[in-house]
Amino acid sequence: MSSPPPLSLHPDRLLPVDPTVRDIARRLYEAVEGLPIISPHGHVDARMLLDDVPFADPATLFVTPDHYVTRLLHASGVSLGALGVGRTQLSEDDARQIWRLLCSHWPVYRGTPVRFWLESELAQIFGVQVRPSARTADDIYDTVAAKLEQPEFRPRALFDRFGISVLATTDDPCDDLSAHAALAADESFRGRVIPTFRPDRYLEPASKGWADLVDRLGKVADVDTGTYAGWAAAMENRRQYFIRHGAVSADHSHQDARTDPLEPAEAERIYAAARAGDVTAAEGDALRRHMVLEMARMSCDDGLVMTLHPAVRRGHHGPTLEEFGPDTGHDIPVPVEFTDALRPLLERFGTHPNLHLVPFTVDETVFSSEIAPLAGFYPSVYVGAPWWFLDAPDAVRRFRAAVTETAGFARTSGFIDDTRAFCSIPARHDMSRRLDSGFIAQLVAEHRLDLDEALDTAVDLVAQRPVEAFKL
C-alpha cells in the first residue's frame, strides 16, 4: 500500500502568484509574521486559561465547539449529535469516532478557509505530517492526543507560544467576571485577557424571557429596572463594572443597524408594555433601536468602543436551535443598510471625541458604498475588518479592495478572528497577514506605494490599527 499523501504547508501559501509581486509580499510578510497577536473580539472562555486544564481530546478541541467546522459536516449529511455538539464531555470512543467523521469528510473543506486553519493547526502546532482521511484518522488522533498530555500543550503554554498579547472574550452584562479578575491577579500568567460587554439579550424587549432578564440585570446592578430609566441606570452600572475589570468595548448584534430615537415618554410606554408582556414586534424593534442609540450615548460617557455586527438571522433552523442551542452553525446573513440607519447616532455622536464606532458586515455590497464612506468622514468610525463569513481569503482581498480607496488603511480596525476555537487563533491571524501583505505588495508593484511605506503599513495593520480602534 502506498504512503498517504503528506500534509505540507507551502511557505508562499496565499501570497500573489505573480513572481514580482510575490517577492515584495514575502518581504512584507517577513516583517509581520512574528508580531504579537492582538485579538480584540472573540469567544474563547477566560476560565479555560484560568484553570489551565489539559484539553480533553482532539475532537473537543477541533470539532465539537467550532461551528465553522461542524456546519459543512452537517451540510454533508452528518448530524450535529454525531459530532458531539451540545455535549461537554465525550468518551474516548465517541471522541475518536467524531475525529473519524472529520477526517473521512476532509474533501468537503477543499478551497475553504477552514481547511487552511485546520491544516495550519495540525501541522504547525501538533506536528501532523499526513493529510487527514479515513485511512489516517486514527494515527492523527493518536498523534494529537499524545501531544495534549504534555505540559507545553496546555492552554497557558499555548497562549504564550501563540504570541497573544491581548485576548478579548465576550461576556453577559450580569457575568461576575471572576475568571478575568483571577487571571489579572495571577502573577504566573503574563497575558492580558479582557472582557467585552455584550448586552444584546437585554435590548430585545419583544423576545421571550426579556422581562426576567432585566429583572436579573436589576438585581445584579442593585438598581430597580421597573422603568426604562432604571434599565438605563443598570446598564451604566454594569458597564462601569466591566471597565473596572479591563473591558474596552461593547459588542452589539441585532437584526438591523437602525438607531432611531424615541421620545422619552414613548420609550417608557413601550418599556412598560414589554415588562407586562404586552408589546408588539414593531414596538419591540422601535425600543431596541432607541436602546442601541442609548448605548452610543453611554459609550461617549464611559469610553467603551462600540462595535456593531448586525444583519444575521440567528438560529435559522428552528429544530436545530431547539435541540442544540445557539451558535451551532445555522446563523445566516441577511441584507443590511447602514447610511440612514446610523444617521441618528452619528448626527448626535459622530464627532464626539470619546466615541469609537466599529461597524462590521457580512453583506459585501455595503463595504464600498456605505461603511467606507462613513469611515472616510466621521472621526469616530472605523471599518470593521473581515469577520465570520468574510474571513475567507478571497473575501479579505475583496474587503481591502472595496475599502482602501475610500477609507485608506488607517480607518480600519485590524483583523478580527471572532473564534471559539482557541488553536485556530494563530492560523487566522497568519492568514490575514499573508493576504494583507499580498494586497499591499500589489500597490508597490503598481508604484502606488513606496516599499518603505508598504512596510510601515503592513506593520501598522497588525500592531497599531487594533490598538487605536479598540483603545488598547
Is residue 50 in some structural domain? no
Q: Which position has the grid cell 505540559?
A: 151
Q: Which position has the grid cell 501563540?
A: 162
Is residue 32 in some structural domain? no
Cell of 394: 478571497
Phi first, then psi: give them for residue 105, nearest 5 degrees.
Answer: -105, 20
Count Cβ atoms below 10 Å from residue 123 Cβ, excluding itself: 18
Domain count, the chain: 2
Q: Which helix (H) or strand (E) holds 167?
A: strand 164-168
Indicate whether 76 and 208 sit together in one domain.
Answer: no
Indicate whether 163 and 147 sit together in one domain.
Answer: no
For residues 163 and 165, what is the distance between their CA atoms, to the nearest angstrom? 6
At which of 153, 170, 203 does a domain end? 153
At which of 119, 153, 187 does a domain end? 153
**Side-chain-side CA neighbours of residue 342 (13 Å):** 26
Cell of 225: 429596572
Indicate whether 126 and 266 sit together in one domain.
Answer: no
* Integer Rg of the chain from CA: 23
Is residue 28 in some structural domain? no
Number of DSSP helices (H) and strands (E) in the chain, helices first: 21, 8
Q: Which position has the grid cell 494563530?
A: 426
Residue type present at position 172: D
Residues 244, 177 contacting (CB under 8 angstroms):
no
Dihedral, CA of residue 225, residue 227, residue 229 and residue 230, to nearest 10: -20
Indicate whether 253 and 334 sit together in one domain.
Answer: yes
The single-letter DSSP state of residue 193 is E
Count Cβ atoms below 10 Å from residue 442 Cβ, excluding itself: 20
CA distances from 96 to 22, 63, 419 (A): 41, 11, 23
The residue among 418, 379, 386 whose CA lies nearest residue 402 is: 386
| Beta-bridge partners for 333 | 312
Indicate whether 191 and 124 sit together in one domain.
Answer: no
Indicate whether 149 and 259 sit together in one domain.
Answer: no
Q: Which position has the grid cell 490575514?
A: 432
Q: Which residues contact 153 (CB under 8 A, 6 or more apart)?
A: 54, 55, 126, 147
The full DSSP string for 243-263 is HHTT--EEEE--S--------
Is residue 270 in some structural domain? yes
At which of 106, 136, 153 does a domain end? 153
Indicate whether 165 and 138 sit together in one domain.
Answer: no
Indicate whether 144 and 70 sit together in one domain.
Answer: yes
Residues 46, 193 contacting (CB under 8 angstroms):
yes
pLDDT means over runs of 10, the chain (472 residues): 88 97 98 98 95 96 92 94 90 96 96 94 97 97 98 97 98 98 94 97 96 98 98 98 98 96 97 96 98 98 96 87 86 91 98 97 90 97 89 92 95 94 95 98 98 98 98 96
Is residue 147 in some structural domain? yes
Cell of 418: 471572532
The residue among 98, 49, 57, 2 whose CA lies nearest residue 425 is: 49
Residues 272, 283 contacting (CB under 8 angstroms):
no
Cell of 290: 432607541
- The span from the first CA to the last CA of the chain, in angstroms, equals 55
Residue 399: CATH number of its domain: 3.20.20.140
Residues 192, 67 contacting (CB under 8 angstroms):
no
Domain that holds residue 129: 55-153
58 SS3 class: helix
- Angle value at C-alpha 43, between 40 and 45, nearest 5 degrees: 110
Indicate whether 179 and 239 sit together in one domain.
Answer: yes
Is residue 79 in some structural domain? yes
Cell of 330: 445555522
Indicate whether 149 and 161 sit together in one domain.
Answer: no
Q: Which position has the grid cell 491544516?
A: 119
The confidence score (pLDDT) of residue 178 equals 98
Model's pTM, two decimal places?
Answer: 0.95
Is residue 340 in some structural domain? yes
The full DSSP string for 426-467 is HHHHHHHHHHHHHHHHHHHHTTSS-HHHHHHHHHHHHHTHHH
- For the four alpha carbons of 405, 406, 408 and 413, in that order, the dihedral sign comes to negative
Residue type present at position 36: P
The confidence score (pLDDT) of residue 386 equals 81
Residue 118: CATH number of its domain: 1.10.2020.10
Indicate whether 130 and 160 sit together in one domain.
Answer: no
Cell of 89: 464531555
Is residue 393 in some structural domain? yes
Residue type present at position 103: C
Indicate whether 91 and 160 sit together in one domain.
Answer: no
The confidence score (pLDDT) of residue 224 equals 98
Phi first, then psi: give them for residue 412, nearest 5 degrees.
Answer: -110, 170
Cell of 311: 444583519
For residues 35 and 459, what is the distance between their CA atoms, to the nearest angstrom? 8
The confidence score (pLDDT) of residue 455 equals 98
